[in-house]
Amino acid sequence: MAQVVSTHGHSHEGNGHSHSEILGGHQSYTTVTDTISDVVLKRPLGKAWLFGFAIAFALLMMFLFAITNLLVRGIGIWGVNIPVGWGFDIVNFVWWIGIGHAGTLISAILLLLKQDWRTSINRFAEAMTLFAVACAGLYPLMHMGRPWLFYWLAPMPNTMALWPQFRSPLVFDVFAVSTYATVSLLFWYVGLIPDLATLRDRATNPIVKKLYAIPALGWRGSAIHWHRYRTAYLLLAGIATPLVVSVHTIVALDFTTGIIPGWHTTVFPPYFVAGAIFSGFAMVATLAIPLRSYFGLKDYITDKHLDNMAKVMLVTGLIVTYGYMIEGFMAWYGANTYERYQMLVDRPFGAYKHDWWLLILCNCVMTQLLWFKSIRNNVILLWLISIVINVGMWLERYVIVVLSLHSDFLPSSWGMYHGTVWDYMTFYGSIGLFMTLMFLFVRVLPAISIAEMRELVHELHERDEAKTHATPPAARTV
Amino acid sequence: MSNRTRSDFGSQDLTELRRKLAGSSGPQYWRSLEELAGTEEFERYLHREFPEQASEWHDPVGRRQFLQLMGASLALAGVSGCVVRPEDKLVPYVKAPEQIVPGKPLFYASTAVHEGYGTGILVESHLGRPTKVEGNPTHPASLGASDLFTQASILNLYDPDRSQAVTYNGRVSSWDAFLNAMIELRTAQLASKGAGVRFLSGTVTSPTVVRLMDQVLGPKFFPQARWHQYEPVGHANRREGVRLATGVDAEAVHHIDQADVVVSLDADFLGWGPAKLVNARQLTARREPGPDNKSPIRLYVVEPSPTITGATADHRWPLSTEEIQSLAATLARAVGVNGLPAAADELKAPWVATLVADLQKSKGKSLVIAGETQAPAVHALAHAINAALGNVGHTVTYHEPVAASAPAGQSGSIADLADDIRAGRVETLFILGTNPVYDAPIELGFAPSGSDSTELLLKVRTVVHLGLYNDETGQVSTWHIPEAHFLESWGDARAFDGTASIMQPLISPLYSGRTAAELLSVVVDGSPLPSRSLVEATWRANQSDADFSAFWSKTLHDGVVAGSAAKPKDVSVKSLADLAWPKVGTGKYEILFRPDPTIWDGSFSNNGWLQELPKPMTRVVWDNPALISKKTADNEGVKDGDVIKLTMGGRILKVPVWINPGHAEDAITLTLGYGRNEEAGYHGRVGAGAGFNTYSLRSLNDFWAGRGVLVEKTGETYPLYSTQGHNTMVGRDLIRTATHTDYAHNPHIGPAGHAPAGHEAAVGNEHDAAASPHDQSEETGIVAHGANPPKNLIGFEYPEPMQRRNDGFGNRWGMSINLNACIGCAACVVACQAENNIPVVGKDQVGRGREMHWLRIDRYYATASRDAEPSANPATHFQPVPCMHCETAPCEMVCPVEATSHSAEGLNEMTYNRCVGTRYCSNNCPYKVRRFNFFQYSDQLTESLKLQRNPDVSVRTRGVMEKCTYCVQRLTKARIEAQIKSPDGFEFVSGDSVATACQQACPTRAIVFGNMNDPKSAVAKAKVDPRNYSLLAELNTRPRTTYLAKLTNPNTAIEA
């Protein structure tokens, strides 16, 4: 395993982190492998894990109950109405999809940009992406009046020669989300193969060994394997990169193609993407902070990681704030009666003003705290801010979906929307689904990539040596 | 423990128990006193596995036996499935029923009765079941239009809660049993000349019933019997007013089309009364600009509680009932009526002089109308004013009375009836179609009330109740007979001007209902004659068989008895000096009783369409809150939905309030017809539990208005739901208005964008005032939708087939709604619901914003001046909003499955089968006219409701979007007919040969629809009218539904 072939070892001189910043303690290949694989193979089921899993699973059961009731009775159990035809369903869809963005960004774009600090968080960020996309993908299905006909949105040859309507952004959505889910899954799985092999090799229980052996696809760690693995991984990263931008752009088109004041605006695609990364990183921080503490992985997910994530949140938070400002400015500058009313009267001073001001507080004001290094380095504060951002981003989608619809063109048809108990059950239930999957994931798969961490150990070691011997870094290309 | 053991325990000796307790040591645990006593029964009970009555299966069933049984069951089930059924053959009719072609509806002329008066109708019948009611154009009270009650009556016909059986003392009996009882009763009463017999009916105009009643009360049968009439919402004051003014009984008929100035003294003549459809037609005709209308009509309305008539007025002032009386006296004095009662006050208001001047300027062309809610004295003054202004013979004529009053000396009020019952003089009471236990004045004691807990009717030995419902009255009657609905019975009725028309059945009675005539025929003929022969006998008179046969078929076909209008009557107004002037009550608050705008006096309370129809002024559904003004609400510290306690004459009613802009100060309006429930004997599943029973405060003295009500805040709240949450246009250019003077100056008021006067609405519109439509089109790229539609539009999505239509080939559907004519009566909304199988969703779902009306009427308020309290007396504007059928419809491009698409003829079509229910189309609809089936709203289980449905329209299921289709089923029919008629199969629907349901119902012809490619069609003409404008035209949706701007005719001498 020592013969790791690095493709990017040579480029770390400029932005390379010191050993202690992104990898704590004195790590060797053995300690890395032991620490990470022991979480899965050796560590007994802890009470805290069981407790957390029980709560998550209970929420999941509530989710099933809510969906069953939905299918039996119809979407009338939700608060949606005319004029507000979309409510929690689409809010949650966009929220989950947004959260899903961090994984791909970390895995693909940061990989291509050779940011080695991504290594310790990419695995569970990718897992989080997959689970968030799974949660997101359920909502468009559930929100349909006749969900059993969902397949009509897919282009299938049929005797009636009926196709979906390709002008509708909802059809783009089907493609965008399903592509995103597929690529994310592949990317995650390909990255897992060497680790699955490690787990297979280290497992003592023959059944567990077998279970890891099957998905490990006969990985033996030969140079040829590594070579092909690298190529595939990079190709997938290349494919995934545009998806980071495209998926949320298309989700933004769901709104911008509409003519509703508050939806019909060109700023949406970029600011949706920024918002997605914003919320995605917030969710990664929300999960990483307790995870590293509980499983003793502080050496792998270091304060430097958290600091970097906080910086990303700060930047994307500022982009989002800029988006809000532009929305308001364009409504004023465009002199469109309906948009002015929606943006400058209804949102800040209308029936939902509390939601709007809370959104500004969460996403614009609280984010400014991240300018301060002391706050970025305060784990508890950072964790709380990341949760506030998650709430804020949920509110943002609520404001966009509900407030725009509730007062559009004709005052006679203005109406109010409030989520019902079933809306909340479905929302919290989907969090239960997400948490259940996360809990299972950290128990059965390595939450941090063992192979990549070993590579990192190797690289950092090389780098340290290069510094010590004052020799130029070896050009160790393949 | 069952009762049996409980009673056994009763026989236990307590000393025995004590003895047992004494003989033991330590705490004793016992489950029941039976156990404690150690009875044998308890021991047995303890050891039994099952309760005693439950049988036990003692045969042990082994595995083999079980398999045998199962096998046999399966085999037998299979056998029974293979039974050879008797062979059924589908064969065509050997002799087809006359005129019936499956799939093609037939129309029959008949008569609908509301408030006792008849309106001619045409009923659509599909294979023998009536599905839709339309107005009869040849009938003088309909002129082709209909009101919301007529439209909704079809649902009453199929109401599954209608009375379905004869009952005797509450138990199901039979018609034969009733006849036997009647024969005995008749014999007994014949001996006493009917001294103990009373009849109670509502207003009767039916010549057949009158003829039979005359016979019953004639010397041959019951000369000493009495006939009482009572209508909770009737015309007693109107009739009494004519009698006071002229000394004779006569019917006053108003000719609004002859008037230039109309003053309404609390007369809701557009929403109430047998001539309302005619009034609406005439009034709006005189509001339309045109070469033949040089002097447009001006309408002044004074009223305490806002009505659609007040909303239509050019000037409206909220006044209390007393102030209106004073105004009547002031006007009378000013126009020179002699000999006025001394007690009458003057009304001091700045506008009175101007009003008088306007009336005097239009002598012979003015009209003062008093409303039923005003005292007879006010009516008398109105007649005197009309006489003084020389209007009699021009704008008002007098005719022989239309509604029957029982022969002189025998007429009596319901109060007399109550007195007679109390005095024990009534042995047999026939109640013909009314419901006094629910709706009679409360102090008479028909309903059980606190002071007198026995219902009055229980004091009568035999009460025979004929009613559509086995209602509150039916429950306490000896006999209840199901009444036949007017759509299932033979009968006749007279219209406001006396014109008679025949009622013919469209279906045989669903529940063996009988008519009042049949019931009376029991007395006259000993056994009932069929109602058809009873009606024929009335009209046969002295005609020969051949003559009668011709007359009869012509009358049935036309729906009108030719030449039957009431004869004019010469009357003269006498001196009114000894007129009893109504006393002004004391007390801060005036309480007003009004018929409910949608369920009337309660007779429609089980009609879901009308319950869910937003009240024209408040838009509230399913309830009758107490209406008050904003100022009154502030004084009392209440807001919408807060419950107040009203105490009046010792009677208490708790009712929530609703703030109604334009309501008179210090007045509370209660509408009738609600608050019915099971406990009171009402069994309608739709109406039970809705609203508050305001009859419980209504007494004879305070029949329409009264003072002395005590108002208390309770602190409780009650959910009230309105379909319109926002009442102003927030400065948007949605309803465009101008005055007739403006219009004469520059007729292009539609595109120029006049918003109604008002500080909110006026913002940003000043610069538009002078703009011509041409300027507008250059600015926005919008061109008026005239005969020359633009070509090659950027972003036009369906170029080819549409372009052919735009070039004049085939049909190009369009609609125009004249806001100047719309009075907000809501007949169109009910007509749409009836035509298109639109479900009722219930109060809770409306509260969640899920009403299903394809066509809604938006009601906006506008305030004239910035200084005034905006809700004190705002102008009210109505705007019916159906689907706009946008040529570039925003809904179409967002549907992922193309369930909504565009037809070549310009329809925005909805394919229910393809809809998956994403609701994006609705979100993206700027007009929010799309409706979604959040649940399975259509009742697919109730059998009788299936009969009502229009077979040409799909019944939608859960999860599907729906909306106005321009009645595509009617368009298809018209297209097919055009194709058949055209020699070359050309499907050009010409002129106005097709009508949508809303258009057909509209009393004022505000809605026109047709093929815009036919320049002769009314819609093509409307589209080039300078008043034509599109709603939200700036969105470039290019709606096919456009509006004609509203014109008002205010008196410039009056400040706001």
pLDDT band at A4 (very low <50, low <70, confident <90, very high): very low
Assess contact for A308 and A412: CB atoms under 8 A. no
| Closest alpha carbon to B186 in B524, B467, B460, B461 | B524
Cβ neighbours for B555, distance < 8 A, ≥ 6 positions apart: B501, B502, B539, B561, B562
For residue B1023, pLDDT over 70 is answered with yes
Examine the pLDDT at B110 and tell me if it is beyond 90. Answer: yes
Closest-CA residue to B825 (of B987, B598, B996) = B598
Burial class (CB in 10 A: 0-12, 13-18, 19+), A416: middle
Give the phi and the psi of residue B862 in degrees, each rounded to 5: -135, 140
Per-residue pLDDT band at A76 (split at 50, 70, 90): very high
B935 to A74: CB separation less than 8 angstroms, yes or no: yes
Between A and B, how many CB-CB pairs are < 8 A?
168
* pLDDT on residue B542: 74
A residues 400-429 closer than 8 Å to B (CB): 405, 407-417
Average pLDDT over residues B343-357: 85
Rounded-to-integer distance, Cα B389 and Cα B384, Å: 9
**Fold of the B167-233+405-486+508-540 domain:** Rossmann fold (3.40.50)
| Chain A nearest-CA residue for B877 | A412
pLDDT at site B758: 40
The CATH architecture assigned to B590-722 reads Beta Barrel (2.40)
Interface touch B897/A152, C-beta < 8 Å: yes
Residue B144 CB contacts under 8 Å (≥ 6 apart), including other chains: B134, B135, B136, B137, B1000
Please check the confidence at residue B50 and state whether its pLDDT lies above 90: no
Predicted local distance difference test score (pLDDT) of residue B782: 36
Q: How far is B926 from chain A (nearest CA, A)?
A: 6
Predicted pLDDT of residue B597? 94
Dihedral of CA atoms B990, B991, B996, B998 in degrees, nearest 10, equals 180
Please give the Cα distance from B69 to B463 (Å, whole number): 59
**Which residue matches tokens 């695609």?**
A269
Contact residues, chain B, for A81 at CB < 8 Å: 848-850, 934
The band of B68, judged by pLDDT with boundaries at 50, 70 and 90, is: confident
Cβ contacts (< 8 Å) between B897 and chain A: which residues? Answer: 152-153, 162, 164-165
Which member of B849, B936, B960 has the closest CB to residue A82? B849
| Alpha helices in B82-219, H assignment, sequence order | 148-157, 175-191, 207-216
Q: Which of A25-39, B492-506, B978-992 has the lowest mean pLDDT?
A: A25-39
Alpha helices in B905-1045 (DSSP H): 920-923, 943-948, 968-981, 997-1001, 1018-1023
pLDDT greater than 60 at residue B8: no
Confidence of residue B807 (pLDDT cuts 50, 70, 90): low
Longest CA–CA separation in chain B, Å? 113
Do residue A412 and residue B879 have CB atoms under 8 angstroms apart? yes
Average pLDDT score over residue span A313-317: 93
How far, in Å, CA of B245 to CA of B579, rounded? 9
- Confidence class of residue A15 from pLDDT cuts 50, 70 and 90? very low
Which residue stretches of A361-449 are H helix?
373-377, 379-398, 404-406, 421-444
Determine the Cα–Cα distance for residues A188 and B34; give it in Å rounded to an integer: 72
Domain boundaries, chain B: 3-47, 167-233+405-486+508-540, 236-399, 590-722, 737-1048
Q: Residue B289 in contact with residue B426, Cβ under 8 Å?
A: no
Tokens 């940003």 belong to residue = B764
- Other Cβ atoms within 10 Å of A428 Cβ, number: 13
pLDDT tens by residue, A166-194: 889 999 989 999 999 999 899 889 989 99
Residues of B in contact with A152 (CB under 8 A): 897, 914, 916
The rounded distance, in Å, linking the Cα atoms of B725 and B614 is: 12
Architecture field, domain B737-1048:
2-Layer Sandwich (3.30)
Provide, rounded to the nearest whole percent, the portion of chain B with pLDDT above 70: 85
Residues of A in contact with B848 (CB under 8 A): 76, 79, 81
pLDDT at B260: 92
User: Looking at residue B779, what is its pLDDT?
Assistant: 34
Quick check: B185 pLDDT over 50? yes
Burial class (CB in 10 A: 0-12, 13-18, 19+), B631: middle
User: How far, in Å, CA of A401 to CA of A128, rounded?
Assistant: 25
Contacts of A337 in chain B (CB under 8 A): 731-732, 764
For the residues A427-431, what does the mean pLDDT come to? Answer: 94
Lowest mean pLDDT among B52-66, B581-595, B739-753, B926-940: B52-66
Between CA B52 and CA B71 the distance in angstroms is: 33
pLDDT class of B83 with cuts at 50, 70, 90: low
Nearest by CB to B928, from A76, A165, A413: name it. A413
* B481 has pLDDT over 90: yes
Taking residues A51-73, report their average pLDDT: 95
The continuous run of DSSP H or E covering B694 comes out as none
Q: Rounded to whole angstroms, what are the CA distances from B900 to A332, B314, B975?
A: 34, 42, 21
Q: How many Cβ atoms sit within 10 Å of the Cβ of residue B598?
A: 28
User: For the CA atoms of A145, A146, A149, A155, what is the dihedral angle to 10 degrees?
Assistant: -10
In the numeric block, the tokens 């060109």 are attached to A266
pLDDT for residue A22 is more than 70 = no
Which pLDDT does position A105 carry in this prediction?
80
Handedness of CA B496, B501, B506, B507 (dihedral sign): positive
C-alpha torsion sign, points B12, B18, B21, B27: positive
* Dihedral over Cα of B889, B893, B898, B899: its sign: negative
What is the SS3 assignment for A467?
A: helix
- Rounded mean pLDDT, B401-413: 62
Given an 8 Å threshold on Cβ–Cβ distance, is B959 in contact with A165? no
Residue B351 confidence (pLDDT) above 80: yes
Alpha carbon A267 to chain centroid, angstroms: 22
pLDDT-derived band at B760 (thresholds 50, 70, 90) equals very low
Task: Give the pLDDT mean for B655-677.
Answer: 92
Tell which of A153, A413, A421 to mutate to test the B interface (max B CBs under 10 Å): A413
**Per-residue pLDDT averaged across B534-538, rounded?**
91
* Tokens representing residue A360 in the block: 């500004």
Residues of B in contact with A85 (CB under 8 A): 919-920, 922-923, 932
A141: number of Cβ within 10 Å: 14
Q: Is the pLDDT of residue A24 over 70?
A: no
**How many residues are listed for chain A in this entry?**
478
Start-to-end CA span in chain B (Å): 77
> Hey, how many other C-beta atoms are within 10 angstroms of the C-beta on B796?
15
pLDDT band of B868, cuts 50, 70, 90 = low
**Is residue B53 scored above 90 in pLDDT?**
no
- Give the pLDDT confidence score for residue A449 in this predicted structure: 82
Task: Pick the closest to residue A284 from A265, A267, A305 (CA basis).
Answer: A305
Section B804-819 average pLDDT? 82
Mapped onto helix, strand or coil, the DSSP state of residue A288 is helix
What pLDDT, on a 0 to 100 scale, did the predictor assign at position A475? 45
Contact B246, B383 (CB under 8 A): yes
Q: Does the CA dihedral A151-A155-A157-A160 come out positive or negative?
A: positive
- pLDDT, tens digit, 9 for 90 and up, residues A203-232: 888 998 999 999 999 899 899 999 999 899
Q: What is the pLDDT of residues A328-346, one digit of tens each?
A: 999 999 888 899 999 999 9
* Cβ atoms B904, B802 nearer than 8 A: yes
> What's the token pair of residue B976?
């097919």
CB B304 within 8 A of CB B664: yes
**pLDDT for the residue B248:** 87
Task: Please tell me what DSSP assigns to residue B567.
Answer: P
Q: Which residue of B has its CA nearest to A168?
A: B894
Q: Is the pLDDT of residue B10 over 50?
A: no
In this structure, is the dihedral angle defined by the CA atoms of residues A306, A312, A313 and A315, taken in order, positive or negative?
Answer: positive
Q: What's the CA gap between B281 and B1006, in Å, rounded?
A: 10
pLDDT digits (tens, 9 = 90+) for B913-956: 999 999 999 999 999 999 999 999 998 888 888 999 999 999 99
Contacts of A262 in chain B (CB under 8 A): none
For residue A143, which phi and psi values (nearest 5 degrees)? -75, -10
Q: How far apart are the first and last CA of chain A?
A: 16
Residues 6+ apart with CB under 8 A from B638: B628, B644, B657, B713
Asked which of A17-26, B148-157, B938-947 is least confident by mean pLDDT, the reply is A17-26
| CA proximity to B310, closest of B369, B362, B363 | B369
Helices (H), A42-83: 47-73
pTM more than 0.90: no
Of all residues in chain A, the percent with pLDDT exceeding 70 is 92
pLDDT value of residue B45: 60
Whether residue B515 contacts residue B484, with contact meaning beta carbons closer than 8 Å, is answered with: yes
> B496-523, pLDDT tens digit by residue?
999 999 999 999 899 989 999 999 998 8
Q: Residue B180 burial (CB < 10 Å; 0-12/13-18/19+)? A: exposed
- What does pLDDT average to over chain B? 84
Position B23 confidence tier, pLDDT thresholds 50, 70, 90 = low
Radius of gyration over every alpha carbon of chain A, rounded to an integer in angstroms = 24
Q: Give CA A196 to chain center in angstroms.
A: 23
If one compares B93 and B433, the residue with the highest pLDDT of the two is B433
Residues in chain B: 1056
**Mean pLDDT for the stretch of residues A137-165:** 89
User: Residue A16 above 60 pLDDT?
Assistant: no
As a whole number of angstroms, the distance between CA B34 and CA B16 comes to 12
Average pLDDT over residues A71-94: 93
Which range among A36-40, A60-64, B201-205, B975-979 shows the weakest confidence by mean pLDDT? A36-40
Q: What pLDDT, on the 0 to 100 scale, is given for residue B80?
A: 55
pLDDT higher than threshold 50 for residue B757: no
CATH superfamily of B236-399: Dimethylsulfoxide Reductase, domain 2 (3.40.228.10)
Residues of B in contact with A346 (CB under 8 A): none
Confidence of residue B14 (pLDDT cuts 50, 70, 90): low
pLDDT at residue A444 tops 90? no
Interface subset of A 320-339, CB within 8 angstroms of B: 337-338
A74: nearest CA in chain B?
Answer: B935
